[in-house]
């Protein structure tokens, strides 16, 4: 893996793992795919420019849990510039693993409780903007180790 | 000046049927808010809520919370919807990784969003041509009045725009 700068550059390709059933509806990614982890404003993503497609897929498959019916389905792709223009931030978080980053949604979601309604609206608006920019690549061969689908590029 | 003449064509068939013509409009036009949602759609939503309540911790792989308590509150709200606002369509129902449940409605008039947690709920209603309205309160005491506001705000149909029910 290449040396990874801490700064996330505008043209970088950013990837989010997509799993069924709660990230998809009728085969399309939904806003739930961009809900932050509790007590943070962070959505876990990967820096594709430094990890490559195969490593992104391998990490995505680690999220699978057949016991709870959580199945890896594919990868959602954005550019860092698109994330920022959706009103969000992005920061490197290599302490999770090299190549990991977090989209900063700007609204911290409490554990077990909803945000204030004004914040809930702001968060939903940002998730929708991310969704509009999202280029979703369904994995044609989710069982295989390597990525065999189309080249992972952001929506133009 | 050219004049465009529109030929109205032959009379519509129903105007030749005295039985039809004598009916009052209210017999044929039923506002959408008075129509009932099919039982199978309600049952599907209820099954989805039961499934959400059974989610294990980390169900999304990103350290998601269990949704047991919030799910129970969401189930109760859905029962209120079913029993007290029968014309209100099912919302899109989803769990969040924070352990809450979201319900979303959208129509040409706007959107409504309710997020229910273990003890609180947050709601906003945004009509297409207006400012968002915000509501919040105790999740265990949500009342049908909230759903009535949702229904009246984004699903109420003026009498002139009612739906024809022929069957």
- Give this complex's ipTM: 0.89
Tally the domains of chain B. 1
B54 assigned to some structural domain: yes
Q: Do A112 and B70 touch (CB under 8 A)?
A: yes
Domain boundaries, chain A: 13-138
Q: Do B97 and A70 touch (CB under 8 A)?
A: no
pLDDT at B164: 45
B3 assigned to some structural domain: no
The partner residue sitting opposite A32, judged by closest CB among B56, B96, B113, is B96
Q: Please choose, from the candidates B77, B160, B49, B64, the residue with its C-alpha nearest in 3D space to the C-alpha of residue A63.
A: B64
Is B100 within 8 Å of chain A by CB?
yes
B46 assigned to some structural domain: yes
B82 assigned to some structural domain: yes
Q: Give the pLDDT confidence of A100-140 residue by residue, as tens digits.
A: 999 999 999 999 999 999 999 999 999 999 999 999 999 99
Measured between alpha carbons, how far is A156 from B9 in angstroms, rounded to an integer? 51
B16 assigned to some structural domain: no
pLDDT at A2: 58
The partner residue sitting opposite B99, judged by closest CB among A38, A62, A68, is A38
The partner residue sitting opposite B56, judged by closest CB among A37, A68, A119, is A68
B20 assigned to some structural domain: no
| 3-class DSSP state of A80 | helix
B11 assigned to some structural domain: no
Measured between alpha carbons, how far is A60 from B71 in angstroms, rounded to an integer? 27
- Provide the shortest C-alpha distance from residue B74 to chain A (in Å): 12
Answer whether 0.90 is exceeded by the pTM: no
Is B47 within 8 Å of chain A by CB?
no
Q: Give the pLDDT confidence of B130-141 residue by residue, as tens digits.
A: 999 999 999 988
Its sign, for the CA torsion A34, A142, B58, B46, is: positive
Judged against a pLDDT cut of 90, whether residue A49 lies above it is answered with: yes
pLDDT at A76: 98
Q: Specify the residue for token string 């947690």.
A: B117
Residue B55, domain extent: 30-157
The partner residue sitting opposite B122, judged by closest CB among A19, A25, A116, is A116
Please give the distance of CA A86 from its chain centroid, rounded to a whole number: 14
B166 assigned to some structural domain: no
Contacts of A127 in chain B (CB under 8 A): none
- Provide the shortest C-alpha distance from residue B10 to chain A (in Å): 45
* Higher pLDDT pick, A71 / B2: A71
Residue B132: how many CB atoms within 10 A of its CB? 15
pLDDT at B139: 92
The list of chain B residues with pLDDT below 70 reads: 1-35, 157-167
């Amino acid at each position: 893996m290449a040396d990874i700068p801490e700064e996330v550059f505008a043209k970088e390709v950013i990837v989010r793992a997509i799993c069924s059933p709660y990230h998809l509806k009728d085969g399309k990614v939904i806003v739930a795919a961009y809900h932050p982890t509790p007590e943070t404003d962070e959505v876990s993503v990967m820096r594709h420019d430094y990890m490559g497609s195969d490593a992104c897929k391998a990490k995505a498959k680690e999220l699978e849990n057949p016991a709870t019916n959580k199945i890896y389905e594919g990868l959602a792709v954005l550019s860092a510039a698109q994330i920022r223009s959706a009103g969000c931030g992005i920061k490197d978080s290599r302490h999770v693993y090299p190549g990991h980053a977090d989209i900063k949604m700007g609204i911290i979601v409490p554990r077990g409780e909803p945000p204030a309604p004004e914040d809930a609206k702001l968060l939903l608006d940002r998730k929708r903007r991310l969704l509009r920019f999202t280029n979703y690549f369904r994995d044609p061969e989710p069982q295989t180790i390597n990525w065999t689908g189309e080249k992972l590029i952001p929506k133009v | 000046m050219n004049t465009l003449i529109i030929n109205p064509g032959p009379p519509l068939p129903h105007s030749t049927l005295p039985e039809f013509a004598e009916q009052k409009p209210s017999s044929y036009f039923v506002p959408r808010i008075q129509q009932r949602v099919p039982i199978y759609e309600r049952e599907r939503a209820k099954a989805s809520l039961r499934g959400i309540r059974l989610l294990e911790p980390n169900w999304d792989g990103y350290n998601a919370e269990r949704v047991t308590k919030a799910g129970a509150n969401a189930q109760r709200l859905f029962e209120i919807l079913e029993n007290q606002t029968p014309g209100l369509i099912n919302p899109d129902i989803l769990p969040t990784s924070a352990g809450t449940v979201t319900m979303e409605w959208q129509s040409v008039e706007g959107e409504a969003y309710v997020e229910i947690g273990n003890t609180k709920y947050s709601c906003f209603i945004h009509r297409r041509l207006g400012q968002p309205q915000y509501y919040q309160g105790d999740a265990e005491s949500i009342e049908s009045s909230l759903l009535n506001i949702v229904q009246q705000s984004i699903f109420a149909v003026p009498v002139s725009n009612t739906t024809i029910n022929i069957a």
